[in-house]
Every structure is written in C-alpha cells, then in structure tokens.
C-alpha cells in the first residue's frame, strides 16, 4: 500500500515538474524546432513505435529535417538530413561532445567508465588516445593484418567443409570470426575454440549476449526520460541490464585475471598487456588506468567492435544474393585482380573498386547504428534559426539521411554504381566527412574503431564473395529473401541469413586456409 501511494506521489510531482519546465521553455523568444504535439508527461514516447528510426523518419517528412521531440521531460532534437547533421556534428561539434545520462551506460558500461559513453573530458581523451595509438593506428592495424587474414581463412575453410550439409547460419560464423580476430589482437588468443564456430556453446552464448545488449541499449527507457519514475523500472529494462552486466563482467574478469596469471609477455604484443602496463605508466591529464576502465574498454571492443562488422557483412551478402548481376560483377573483379588460386588479402582491397562501392552501398542502406548514439548539448545554441536548449539530447537519424530522396536517386534500390566514376556520388566517403553517409558518425565522438571496421568488413565481404557461390536454405528464391530489420542499438536482420556455400576456387586454396 505504501509503495502504491509513493508511486502516485512521484507521478504527481513529475507532472508538476513537467508543466513548470514546459512553461519556462515556452517563454523563450526563439522557437524550438517544429515537431509533433507531445502528450502530457510522457511526451512523444508513443510516437516512436517498434522501429524508432522508421517512425522518426516519417515524422521528419512532415515536420522537417530539424525536428524537436519531448521524450518525458527531456528535450530531444533530431537531425534527419545531411545538411542539418553537419550543423550539429561539424559546426557545433564541440557543444555536442558528451552523452546524456542513460541506463545502458549506468548498468552495463560500468557506470560511464567506458570509451563509448564516458563524459567528454580528460578521462575520455585518455581512453580515446590509448585506443587510437595502441589498437586503431595505421601501424597497429598493419601489424595485425596477418591475424585478420588468418581468421578469415579459418572461416573460409569451415564454410568449405559445410558443403553438402544443412544450411549454415552465416551470422553466427561471422561473429565467431570477428570476435576471434579481435581477441587475438586484444588478449593474444582466440576467444572461441579453433575458430570454426561449429557447435560451440560459448560462441552461441556470447552472440546472444551481444545481441541482447544491443537490443536493451536501443530501448527508449521511460526512466531515462522521467527520472522520478526511474526507481519503478516500468519496462524491466534496468533489471535485465544489471543481470546482463553480471554475465559480461564475469566473462571480462576471467579474461583479465587469466591474463595477469599467464602474462602476455613483456613486449606488450597484445592490447590487454599494454592496458595492464598503463595502470602504472599512464601519463597526461587523464591519469592512471583502472581495472574497471580496462574491462569497460574490453566490453566496448567485444560488443561494438564485433557485432557491427559481422552484421554489416551479413547484410552485404544478403543484398548480393538478391542481386545476382552485382554478385557476378564483384566476382569478376576479384577473379581479374586476385585470381582463383589464392585468397584475397587486405593489400588487394585498394584495387577492388567495385567491391568498395558495394560496401559503401551496404553502409548506406543498412547502417550498423541507424540512430546515432545520443549526444547532449553542453550549452544552449541556435541552429537554422531554432533554439536548442542546454541539456537537449541529439539524435542523428543516420538511416533516414542515407535514404533521403533529395540526396539519392531511387534511394531504396541497392545500386553500388552510384559510388563509381560517373555515378551520382562518386566521391562520397563513409569516414565522417560526407554527411550523406555517416555509418560511423562524425566529429569528436566518431566511432574509434572505424578504420578496423572498414578493413574487416571489406576483407570478409571480399573473401566470402570470392570463395563461394551462395544458395538460400530450402531452395528459396533470392527475390523472396526476408530483408526485415530487427531494431536495436545496432541494425540486425530480423531473420538470420541461412545459406549453402558452393566453393568456386581451386581446391588447394581451401586446404591452404588451414
């Protein structure tokens, strides 16, 4: 009885706060951006629907590419065009360099002690510098090129052995490959067995954990937007996050403790050895690294650094299966540049112009993060004649921008030629400078692992297309392939891609892959 009375009292206080804040904001002489009329207290949360990136794109077509939503008590501004995104992420980037409070960062990412959600400041700069220098620099990526190629070769061998058997779940095998490639760099060993992914329950569990964290992190949690109701956990999100965090923390703690016991060698040949050494040696304004920050960094790498790459490659192969002409052209380019007597390597990628266009088009239609990770206005500002309040949350609808008919011809069609010389966007890149396609974001908080992600996606896509022809499960025709999305923080396929690989290279290539 007491808890019910307290809940009612809390609700009444929240309503009063809502109306007071709303009254103060309406007195501002510069208007907020246009947007749908909010409901009392809960604001525009009901407008988000099952697929928020779709719903918000629909609203932007009505209210414009710079739009205001009120989610609970929180002002949210949405950028849904390339020009508006550039205003936020380039012109006003410094003002939007921190993250708003959210339950995912609190309950999963070690209470904001990771790189992705850490507040903008000295600690974040320290974590970013460590990642940039020791893991994602050009030298670091080149030093571990052989690791990525070896793990992709293991994947190719595993797929070649699946010929004639039941259809394989490509998403699962891709995830094992990306986790093991990153694991060898991060901790000096594979995370899952021999890398083949065949019936490994630990790999299955890890994939499910990563998917769950992305789903939970993509939920618009009422407690994040109406703080007075956070303790009620109305959607059960916080409870699930805490439970998932315990599983991840055990996984990461075991890795760190085992590494301390066995050692990674005094030469710091893997990232974890370097991180452990930085516990004592870290210099500069950020201070020393803590055990919690080490685990938080590992959490970032093993979730955002693996799931995004594997899901993008899965989308790419699905699109190529649906478009046999495009698949044939990619395979022809690979045959001409690489041949059929060896596997493609990272050094070949620069010469595969059409493959690069295919990857760009995949990033355009299927960005791994459809709604950018939220940012927060440190101070109020004015953009395109509209008032952006201090503390407002910024969402960039990356998915909608890449499908904007004002920017793209036939935006829903998979057409890699648009990125080739003579196409509509031959010079557009995906590295954060051209805002028509920003799958990694842009500005100060651009994805730290962008360079690694680009290499991994290109190499995996090239290898799978070069080494195999692909048939769908149960003789399904390509045009009938389910291309529905399952919304979360990352853009997963609603149904995993189940395929039969058919080897197309000389036999010794698959044997050499061992």
Q: What does DSSP assign to residue 28?
A: -
What is the reported pLDDT for 512?
67
The angle formed by the CA atoms of residues 246, 251 and 254, to the nearest 5 degrees, is: 115
CA separation for the pair 5, 25 (Å, rounded)? 30
pLDDT at 16: 53
pLDDT of 455 above 70: yes
Sketch the domain layout of the chain as residue ranges. Answer: 2-512
Instruction: Quote the CA–CA distance of 37 and 30 in Å, as a whole number.
Output: 18
Q: Say what the pLDDT of residue 2 is.
A: 41
Average pLDDT of span 178-183? 92
Is 177 annotated to bind a ligand? Reply is no
Q: In angstroms, rounded to a whole number, what is the distance separating the alpha carbons of residues 127 and 63?
A: 39
- What would the mean pLDDT of 3-21 be, rounded to a whole number? 51
Q: What digits encode the pLDDT tens for the residues 342-399?
A: 999 999 999 999 999 999 999 999 999 999 999 999 999 999 999 999 999 999 999 9
The residue with greater pLDDT, 137 or 488, is 137
What tokens were used for 219?
């939920």
Q: Among 142-146, 148-152, 256-260, 456-460, which stretch is predicted with the lowest mean pLDDT?
A: 256-260
What does the pLDDT average to over 232-240? 94
Structure tokens at 169: 């779940």
Distance CA 227, CA 471 (A): 50
User: So what's the pLDDT on residue 513?
Assistant: 56
Write 339-343 long-range contacts (CB < 8 A, 24+): 340/504, 340/505, 340/506, 340/509, 341/505, 341/506, 341/508, 341/509, 342/509, 342/512, 343/149, 343/152, 343/153, 343/156, 343/463, 343/466, 343/467, 343/505, 343/509, 343/512, 343/513
The tokens describing 93, both together, are 């980037």
Nearest to 185 by CA among 459, 467, 464, 456: 456
Q: Is the pLDDT of residue 265 over 90?
A: no
Q: Is the pLDDT of residue 6 over 50?
A: no
- Residue 21 — pLDDT band, cuts 50, 70, 90? low
- What is the mean predicted confidence (pLDDT) over 13-36? 66
What are the φ/ψ torsions at residue 431 (nearest 5 degrees)? -95, 15
pLDDT digits 0-9 by tens, 51-98: 999 999 999 999 999 999 999 999 999 999 999 999 999 999 999 999
> Looking at the predicted structure, is the pLDDT value of residue 10 above 60?
no
- Domain 2-512 fold is Cytochrome p450 (1.10.630)
- Map residue 461 onto helix, strand or coil: helix
**Selection from 11-25, 279-293, 478-492 with the highest mean pLDDT:** 478-492
pLDDT for 191 equals 86
- Of 410, 413, 450, 412, nearest to 433 by C-alpha is 450
In this prediction, residues 413-418 reach a mean pLDDT of: 98
């Amino acid at each position: 009885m007491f808890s019910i009375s307290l809940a009612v009292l809390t609700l009444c206080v929240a309503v009063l706060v809502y109306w007071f804040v709303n009254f103060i904001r309406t007195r501002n002489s510069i208007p907020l951006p246009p947007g749908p009329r909010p409901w009392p207290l809960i604001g525009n949360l009901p407008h988000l629907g099952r697929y928020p990136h779709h719903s918000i794109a629909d609203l932007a077509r009505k209210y414009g590419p710079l739009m205001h939503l009120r989610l609970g008590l929180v002002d949210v501004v949405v950028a849904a065009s390339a020009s508006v995104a550039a205003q936020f992420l380039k012109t006003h980037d410094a003002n939007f360099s921190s993250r708003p409070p959210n339950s995912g960062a609190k309950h999963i990412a070690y209470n904001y002690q990771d790189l992705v959600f850490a507040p903008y400041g000295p600690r974040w700069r320290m974590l970013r510098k460590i990642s940039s220098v020791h893991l994602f620099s050009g030298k670091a990526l080149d030093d571990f090129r052989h690791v990525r190629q070896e793990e992709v070769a293991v994947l190719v061998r595993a797929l070649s052995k699946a010929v004639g058997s039941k259809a394989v779940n490509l998403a699962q095998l891709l995830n094992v490959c990306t986790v093991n490639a990153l694991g060898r760099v991060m901790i000096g060993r594979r995370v899952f067995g021999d890398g083949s992914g065949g019936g490994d329950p630990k790999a299955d569990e890890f994939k499910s954990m990563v998917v769950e964290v992305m789903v939970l992190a993509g939920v618009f949690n009422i407690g994040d937007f109406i703080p007075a109701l956070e303790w009620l956990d109305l959607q059960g999100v916080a409870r699930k996050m805490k439970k998932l965090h315990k599983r991840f923390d055990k996984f990461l703690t075991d890795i760190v403790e085992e590494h301390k016991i066995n050692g990674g060698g005094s030469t710091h040949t893997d990232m974890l050895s370097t991180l452990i050494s930085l516990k004592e040696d870290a210099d500069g304004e950020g201070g020393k690294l803590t055990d919690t920050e080490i685990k938080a960094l590992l959490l970032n790498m093993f979730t955002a650094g693996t799931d995004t790459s594997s899901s993008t490659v899965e989308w790419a192969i699905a699109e190529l299966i649906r478009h046999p002409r495009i698949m044939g052209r990619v395979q022809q380019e690979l045959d001409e540049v690489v041949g059929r007597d060896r596997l493609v390597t990272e050094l070949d990628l620069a010469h595969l112009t059409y493959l690069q266009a295919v990857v760009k088009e995949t990033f355009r239609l299927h960005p791994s993060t459809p709604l950018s990770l939220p940012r927060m206005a440190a101070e109020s500002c004015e953009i395109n004649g509209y008032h952006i309040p201090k503390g407002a949350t910024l969402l960039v609808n990356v998915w909608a921008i890449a499908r904007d008919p004002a920017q793209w011809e036939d935006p829903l069609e998979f057409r890699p030629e648009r990125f080739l010389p003579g196409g509509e966007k031959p010079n557009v890149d995906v590295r954060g400078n051209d805002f028509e396609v920003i799958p990694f974001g842009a500005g100060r908080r651009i994805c730290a692992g962008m360079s690694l992600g680009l290499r991994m996606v290109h190499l995996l896509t090239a290898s799978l297309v070069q080494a195999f022809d692909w048939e769908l499960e149960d003789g399904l025709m390509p045009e009938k392939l389910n291309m529905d999305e399952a919304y979360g923080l990352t853009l997963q396929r609603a149904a995993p891609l189940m395929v039969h690989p058919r080897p197309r290279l000389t036999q010794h290539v698959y044997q050499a892959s061992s």
